[in-house]
Amino acid sequence: MSDVDMADLGALLAAALDPAGQGVEAVRPIRDDIQARTRGLLAELGSEEVQV
């Protein structure tokens, strides 16, 4: 596969994974995953949990 083909493939993949324009139900799992990863990282670093 040439570099141009890989660039096109990357652009198609990014467009398929971009939640822009999708409904709330499609975006909530992404939000929840980010929140869980962030809390996990903060726990590893020994930070206290802050309620917002």
Confirm whether 14 is domain-assigned: no
d(CA 29, CA 35): 10
Confirm whether 38 is domain-assigned: yes
Confirm whether 18 is domain-assigned: no
Our count of domains for the chain comes to 1
Confirm whether 8 is domain-assigned: no
Confirm whether 46 is domain-assigned: yes
Residue ranges making up the domain that contains 38: 23-52
d(CA 45, CA 26): 30
pTM of the predicted protein model = 0.55
Residue 1 has pLDDT above 50, yes or no: no
Q: Which residues of 13-51 are buried (b: 16+ CB within 10 A; e: fewer)?
A: eeeeeeeeeeeeeeeeeeeeeeeeeeeeeeeeeeeeeee
Confirm whether 7 is domain-assigned: no
More confident site: 7 or 2: 7
Q: Give residue 15's pLDDT.
A: 65
pLDDT tens digits, residue range 4-51?
566 777 776 676 677 788 888 888 888 898 899 988 998 899 987 667
